[in-house]
Amino acid sequence: MKRLIIIITALFLNSSLWALQGDGSIGNPFQLYDLSDFLTFRDTVNAGYYTACAELNSDIDLKEICYEDSVTGEQYHWFAIAGLGDGTSYQGRFDGKGHVIYNLYVNSHIECYRGVFGCIKDAVILNLGVENAFVIAGYNIGGITGIATNSVISNCFVTGHIEGYFLGGIAGIADNCAISNCYCDCYVDGNYPGYVLGYNINTTLSNCFFNQDVECNGVVHDAVGLNEESMYSGNLAEKLNDYVLLNGGDTLQSWCHSIEERCLPCYYCLSGTKETASELENLYIQDNSLYFSLNKERKIQIYDLSGRLYISQKFPSGEHCITTLPKGNYILLGRRFMIGY
């Protein structure tokens, strides 16, 4: 019987690999473009490929597969990546590339190890948003992962409602982890709840924030509470962008949001590769004007630190001058500059 189970698992794993671009290695991660790809990735990991690496190339809406049927009352719960609770964990690198997973849904007090991921160990989770999560479950519950060990979680955010035992907006339990530049706008309630992290074992939180105006009994740990005005006004995005720039983050990625609408910041990945930044030459400021040179034609986008887009225009190769920027701090292809100081 054991031999038969192993053969079935191997066949399933191989068929899953055929359905995805990439091979799951660190140098050739799976490329996930839609819900079908995302589910195949989950099932591939749960079939035994725990070190599989992946990059998310679009937003994913889970409402098609996990929801409560309004007519029958039947509930269809999200089954997490590495959520078996049998000692296995996700051990790869998952880059959300600034995309969002919407409508994560679990409503069962007996299910444990719930989040997008159930358990992660020696893993890296980057640049991922989880929006409108509704997770009521047993123990080890989080928006990103139920439990994390020896792992890195960075540039992630979670919004929604989470209840259980050992629970947090990002993770329920984190043991010897590094969680940085994340924020949560979640209602959390239960035993050992935390706004960002439920239970902390030798874990460092750096530049992590939560909405302190949400009524819940969460533990702060080392996260920083902001009121709703700061969360939505651009102050939060500025704090997150400052951290990215000061810590040598990806030159083509930044936090942005529209301050004309009531919304929270998302981590945005500009098109192109890291090498694109090298196309920008001789950037300098003179008389409150921005001067720069391009070695090829390309689209230029300039943001302030709160995420407001000021310039989005294609420029030919050669030298250029922009004189229309008001006093402030800006980001151009990952390079920060100041006008009017």
pLDDT per position as a tens digit, 88-144? 999 999 999 989 999 999 998 888 999 999 999 999 999 999 999 999 999 999 999
Per-residue pLDDT band for 42 (boundaries 50, 70, 90) equals: very high
Residue 6 has pLDDT above 80, yes or no: no
* pLDDT of amino acid 75: 86
Residue 294 has pLDDT above 80, yes or no: yes
pTM of the model: 0.79
For 45, phi and psi rounded to 5 degrees?
-60, -50
* pLDDT of amino acid 70: 82
Per-residue pLDDT band for 252 (boundaries 50, 70, 90) equals: low
Q: Element (H or E) spanning 45, and its range?
A: helix 35-46
> Of 335, 159, 340, 137, which Cα lies nearest the Cα of 264?
159
Per-residue pLDDT band for 275 (boundaries 50, 70, 90) equals: very low
* Token output for 204: 């460092």
> Of 38, 93, 86, 76, which Cα lies nearest the Cα of 60?
38
* pLDDT of amino acid 133: 97
Residue 156 has pLDDT above 70, yes or no: yes
| Cβ neighbourhood burial of 56 (10 Å; 0-12, 13-18, 19+) | buried
* pLDDT of amino acid 14: 46
Q: What is the spatial distance between Cα 341 and Cα 325, in angstroms, rounded to a whole number?
A: 13
Residue 291 has pLDDT above 50, yes or no: yes
* pLDDT of amino acid 273: 34
* pLDDT of amino acid 215: 82
